[in-house]
C-alpha cells in the first residue's frame, strides 16, 4: 500500500467575524497517498479552498492536525512554515498570480531565489520547467504578452521548478477557455504520471476533475 503523503486528522476550521463564529470545515479526515492526483469538488462555500490552504500551510486549522510527509505543519512557526512551503509545495492559483513586472523566466525563477543554487543552475532549472510546460520560446515575455492559458502554464512551471513533493492547484482552469483548460489539465496529468507529482486540485469543473484519479466532494465543510 502506498503511504499517505498528506494526512488530515480531525481537522476543523472556523473563522470569527465580529462576534460570529463561522464554521468552514468540520472534522475532516483525509489521507492522500504519494503520487495521487486528487480532485476536491463541491459547491461554492463548501470549504474546498480552505482545505487546500490548510494543506499548503498558508492557513492554520482551528482543531486537528495537518501532516505532510512526516511533518505536522500546524506546529511550525511562521518562518519555519515559509521555509517548508518553499521546499515542499508548488501552488497553482486560479488567477495565475504572476508578477506583472517580471518576465516569464523571472516569474519561474522566483522560488529558486530562496535556494542556494547558482545563477547558472537556476537558469537551467527555469529552462527545464518552461520546456515541460511548452513555453521555452516565451521566456522573455511579460505576463501581459501571454494568453491566459500561457500565463497558467508559466504559473505551473513556477510551481514545479523547485521539484516540490506536492502540487496544490486552486481552480487552475477556472479562468480559462475550454481549449486552454484542456491544455492545462493535460499538463497537470503529465506532471502526475511522468514526474510522479502528488497533486491536489480544487475544481468546479467536472471535465477537469475527470483527469484526476480520485475525486472527493465537500459539502458544508464535510467530506461526503
Contacting residues toward other proteins, per CB under 8 A: 53, 56, 58-59, 78-79, 82-87, 91, 93-95, 97, 99, 110-111, 114, 158, 175
Nearer to other proteins, 29 or 114 (CB): 114
Shortest reach from residue 130's CB to other proteins, in Å: 17
* 46 three-state secondary structure: coil
> Which is it for the CA torsion 17, 20, 22, 23, positive or negative?
positive
Which is nearer to other proteins, 161 or 212 (by Cβ)? 161
Please say which residue, 14 or 86, places its beta carbon nearer to other proteins: 86
Residue 35 grid cell? 503520487
- For residue 2, the minimal CB distance to other proteins (Å) is 27
- Cα–Cα distance measured from residue 194 to residue 209, given in angstroms and rounded to the nearest whole number: 19
C-beta separation of 173 from 203 below 8 A: yes
Smallest distance from the beta carbon of 171 to other proteins, in angstroms? Answer: 10
Among residues 3 and 100, whose Cβ is nearest to other proteins?
A: 100
Q: How far is the CB of 108 from other proteins (least distance, A)?
A: 11
Whether the Cβ atoms of residue 178 and residue 3 lie closer than 8 Å to each other: no
Task: Judge contact between 52 and 40, C-beta under 8 A.
Answer: yes
Amino acid at each position: 500500500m502506498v503511504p499517505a503523503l498528506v494526512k488530515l486528522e480531525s481537522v476543523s476550521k472556523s473563522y470569527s467575524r465580529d462576534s460570529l463564529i463561522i464554521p468552514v470545515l468540520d472534522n475532516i479526515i483525509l489521507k492522500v497517498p504519494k503520487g495521487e492526483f486528487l480532485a476536491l469538488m463541491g459547491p461554492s462555500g463548501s470549504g474546498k479552498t480552505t482545505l487546500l490552504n490548510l494543506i499548503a500551510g498558508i492557513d492554520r486549522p482551528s482543531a486537528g492536525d495537518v501532516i505532510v510527509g512526516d511533518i505536522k505543519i500546524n506546529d511550525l512557526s511562521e518562518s519555519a512554515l515559509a521555509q517548508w512551503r518553499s521546499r515542499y509545495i508548488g501552488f497553482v492559483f486560479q488567477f495565475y498570480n504572476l508578477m506583472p513586472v517580471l518576465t516569464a523566466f523571472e516569474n519561474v525563477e522566483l522560488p529558486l531565489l530562496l535556494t542556494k543554487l547558482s545563477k547558472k543552475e537556476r537558469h537551467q532549472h527555469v529552462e527545464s520547467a518552461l520546456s515541460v510546460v511548452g513555453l521555452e520560446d516565451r521566456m522573455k515575455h511579460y505576463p501581459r504578452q501571454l494568453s491566459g492559458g500561457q500565463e497558467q502554464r508559466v504559473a505551473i512551471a513556477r510551481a514545479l521548478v523547485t521539484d516540490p513533493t506536492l502540487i496544490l492547484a486552486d481552480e487552475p482552469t477556472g479562468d480559462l477557455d475550454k481549449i486552454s483548460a484542456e491544455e492545462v489539465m493535460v499538463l497537470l496529468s503529465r506532471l502526475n504520471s511522468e514526474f510522479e507529482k502528488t497533486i491536489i486540485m480544487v475544481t468546479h469543473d467536472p471535465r477537469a476533475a475527470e483527469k484526476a484519479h480520485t475525486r472527493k466532494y465537500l459539502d458544508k465543510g464535510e467530506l461526503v
